Amino acid sequence: MILGNTYHLHFRPGDDVIAELGGLHAFCGWNGPILTDSGGFQVFSLRDTLLAVDDDGVTFRSVYDGGEARFTPELVAGIQSNLGSDVAMCLDICPPACVSRAELEEAVRRTTLWAARQREAERAPGQLLFGIAQGGTDDELRRRSLAEVTELDFDGYALGGLAIGESREAMFETTGWAAPLLPQDRARYFMGIGDPEGILEVIARGIDMFDCVLPTRTARTGSALTWHGRLNLRNARFAKDARPLDTDCACPACRRFTRAYLRHLVNQQELLGHRLLTLHNLHFVLELTAGARAAIERGELDRYRTDALARLAAGAEEETASPL
Residues with active-site annotation:
37, 211
Yes or no: say if 37 and 65 are a contact pair by the CB < 8 Å rule: no
What single-letter amino acid sits at 215? P
What's the CA gap between 88 and 267, in Å, rounded?
Answer: 39
For residue 109, CA distances in Å to 103, 176, 188 come to 10, 23, 21
Q: Where are the alpha helices (DSSP H) in the chain?
A: 15-20, 24-28, 40-45, 73-83, 101-120, 139-151, 168-178, 196-204, 214-220, 252-256, 259-267, 271-298, 301-321
Yes or no: say if 83 and 11 are a contact pair by the CB < 8 Å rule: yes
Q: What is the dihedral of CA 44, 48, 49, 54, to 10 degrees?
A: 60
Q: SS3 for 133?
A: strand
DSSP assignment string, 147-161: HHHHHT--SEEEE-S
User: Of the candidates 68, 159, 58, which has an alpha carbon nearest to the alpha carbon of residue 114?
Assistant: 58
What's the CA gap between 149 and 111, in Å, rounded?
Answer: 9
DSSP assignment string, 183-218: -TTSEEEEES--SHHHHHHHHHTT--EEE-SHHHHH
